Structure 1
Amino acid sequence: MSFSRWLLLGAVVFTFVAWASAFVVIRGVSQHLDGGALALGRLAVGTVALGVAALIAHRWVPPTRREWIQLVVYGVAWFGAYNVALNTAEHTLDAGTAAMIVGIGPILIALGAGIFLGEGIPKWLAIGAVVAFAGVILIGVGTILRSGTAHPVDVVGALLALAAAIAYAIGVITQKPVVRRIPAIQATFIGCAIGLVVCLPFAGSLVTELAVAPTSAWLGTLYLGLVPTALAFTTWAYALKRMPAGQLGISSYLSPPLAILMGFLAFGEIPHVLALVGGLVCLVGVALSRRRPRVAAAA
């Protein structure tokens, strides 16, 4: 395999490992910061880091009017709405249920990329999406069974998680045309800065809550801004430029099993057997989505 292929694989793996770690860190920080305040703090750190990286890169491609519109939609949807909605949803939903609902996002990406980006919906991509989503459902059910929660799912939390999934899909579909010409660091920086502006109404809450928050909350917010936001969104943009959006979106099903493993290492949480099976099913679904149809040999 060529160096460029190894670099692409490394970008994909790093992205989803970093995003999986975000679920663990958010779980700890959310005890001290509300959803909107956490999103603003994370985006503030990410914007500064990405701004420095963009200056060091010394390469700025002026976006066209159409690209500015796409960047605004991308920044508002993914950096702004997604972060606030998911952070807030996890205050009333357990992680498994939230992951199960947000797991709709990659399927929406695959469908949207096929319809709006002309990628089509290959047979193995569709099969892999269904299998991986089944794995997410098993993870969600296993998490609910492990926690022993018998109460109905919070309707507001479920709607917020669904909104996060939709925002995620919209962000990816509008980002894909932009990174064809705009450098990954520049596109990520602009999107993060736009998300920061969207979250500015939470500035008062962030200042108030950080004033009484422990050091761990400060460090967690710093980590979320630097690694899962600044670095991982940049490696995601790098991979998105070189892969079909639908295929890369399905690959994000690698995050749930990784999050289970990290949760066990960080908090000593032993997942339900269904969650473990779901993690394996997710990996199988990702593998299936990357299969290619056999080309018939010429007679």
Structure 2
Amino acid sequence: MTTTPTARPAAPATGRNWRAPAAACITVLLWASAFVSIRSAGEAYSPGALALGRLLAGTLTLGAILLVRREGLPSRAAWPGVIGSGLLWFGLYMVVLNWGEQQVDAGTAAMIVNIGPILMALLGARLLGEELPRRLLTGMGISFAGAVVVGLSMSGHGGSSVLGVVLCLVAALSYAGGVVIQKPALRHGSPLQITTFGCLIGTLACLPFTGVLVSEAADAPVSATLNMVYLGVFPTALAFTTWAYALARTTAGRMGATTYAVPALVVLMSWLLLDEVPALLTVAGGLLCLAGVAVSRTRARRAREEAESATA
């Protein structure tokens, strides 16, 4: 396989401004759907086996697309980011999140993991020199408050342990760190390349769970295995690629703020697909999450429009 020339994000054109927001929306919708699928797959598969099965499905899907498109390898400069994000985000994050959610109730997990976008913005400012506009911080604060409300409304349905809390904190840290490490790599490779090889690195890191996966797959119901495959093809292969596409065109902090729409969508999907009628407090928290996302994005959109009108 040959190395392709360095792929750099194209300068945003007025007629294409919708593509990055559309990619971010696809990511958020698919990541929200993942929580519904994880409930089924997680009943039959242990954390490590579920992560490996999901990553295998994702890697095979991405690899096939990469071969069809003949994109080859990203440039050498991209590999530190590919390896770092592969180990932290695709590998460590998926395992510890699956494990942590078995040790704490859903509400506690949601509250702790949603620290991730805040850490992402802070790390992006510190390590990548990204700005932290007041509007972004305000919006993230509103969304995090909404995530806490959602978490509190869901807490109490199962015990929580110190180990589970620590695991969810590790998940939040690895999520934020993986995204910030991935961002510079997108200057040296296409979103498909960076996602494909990041997913491959994560798969290799999870290979010690191969025996457990094979053993559990033999006894798992077909529905659980299909949900695991779905997690690999859509919330992993497709959603991580659309995420990388959008991330290459904005800051890590703004992308992190966008993911606060996930808790609201999870509440809605659980209601529609699982007949889980949300409490009023849960609905209120979901609306707060969405309001915070709107606040965090407003100024960026307005600033772009003003800049475009000034240069017209």
Same topology, TM > 0.5: yes
Unpaired runs of at least 5, structure 1: none
Equivalent-residue separation in structure 2 for 1:62 and 1:12 (angstroms): 23
Distance 1:193 1:59 in 2: 16
Gaps of 5+ in 2: 1-12, 307-312
Q: Offset at 1:62?
A: 3.8
CA apart distance, 1:91: 1.1
SS at match of 2:259: helix
Partner residue in 1 for 2:52: 40
Aligned partner (choices 91, 102, 109) of residue 80 of structure 1: 91
Match of 1:96 in 2: 107
Deviating more after overlay: 265-274 vs 206-215: 265-274
Partner residue of 2:255?
A: 248
Q: Matched residues in 2 for 1:129 and 1:279: separation? A: 13
Matched, 1:126 2:133: no
In the alignment, the residues of structure 1 paired with residue 185 and residue 89 of structure 2 have an alpha-carbon distance, to the nearest angstrom, of 14
Which of 15, 21, 34 aligns to 2:33? It is 21
- 2: distance between equivalents of 1:4 and 1:155? 47
* 1:143 and 1:271 in contact (8 A); partners too: no
Q: Determine if contact 2:74/2:193 at 8 Å carries over to the other structure.
A: no
Structure 2 counterpart SS, 1:290: helix
Contact between 2:85 and 2:178, CA under 8 Å: does it hold in 1?
A: yes
Partner of 1:197: 204
* Contact map agreement 2:74 2:194 (CA 8 A) in 1: no
Report the counterpart of residue 226 of structure 2 in structure 1.
219
| Structure 1 residue 103: Cα displacement | 0.2
Residues 232-271 of structure 1 mapped to structure 2, 5 A cutoff? 232-271=239-278
Q: Distance in 2 between matches of 1:284 and 1:188?
A: 30
CA contact (8 A) 1:100 1:136 kept: yes
The answer to whether the aligner puts 1:7 opposite 2:14 as a matched pair is: no
Residue 184 (structure 2) aligns with: 177
In 2, Cα distance between equivalents of 1:272 and 1:143: 9
Please tell me whether the aligned partners of residues 78 and 187 of structure 2 are also in contact (alpha carbons under 8 angstroms): no
Deviations 1:223-262 (A, max 9, x none): 0010000000000000001111110111000100101111
Structure 2: which amino acid aligns with 1:47?
T
Q: Residue 8 of structure 2 corresponds to which residue in structure 1?
A: none
1:115 paired to 2:122? no
Check 1:68–1:181 CA distance in 2 against 1; reply closer, same or farther (3 A cut): closer
Show CA shifts across 1:136-166 (max 9, x none): 0000001116x4x5x5x31111111110000
Tell me, in whole angstroms, the C-alpha distance in 2 between the residues paired with 1:11 and 1:214: 33
Q: Is residue 74–residue 190 contact of structure 2 (8 Å, CA) maintained in 1?
A: no
After superposition, what is the alpha-carbon deviation per residue over 1:41-84, rounded to whole angstroms, capped at 9, x for unaligned? 000010000001111122235422x5322211100000000000
Alpha carbon RMSD of aligned pairs, Å?
1.8
- Most deviating of 269-278 and 26-35: 269-278
Q: AA paired with 2:212? A: S
Q: Distance in 1 between matches of 2:235 and 2:114?
A: 18
Q: CA deviation at 1:6?
A: 2.0
CA distance in 2, matches of 1:24, 1:56: 31
Q: Which residue of 2 aligns with 1:59?
A: 71
Q: For residues 203 and 7 of structure 1, what CA distance do their matches in structure 2 show?
A: 38
Paired letter, 1:222: V
Instruction: Tell me how far apart the structure 2 counterparts of residues 144 and 86 of structure 1 sit (CA, whole Å).
Output: 17
TM-score between both structures, scaled by the size of structure 2 = 0.90
- In structure 2, the residue matched to 1:158 is 165
CA distance in 1, matches of 2:71, 2:78: 17
Aligned residue for 1:242, secondary structure, equals coil
For 1:274 and 1:3, how far apart are their aligned partners in 2?
40
Distance 1:135 1:177 in 2: 31
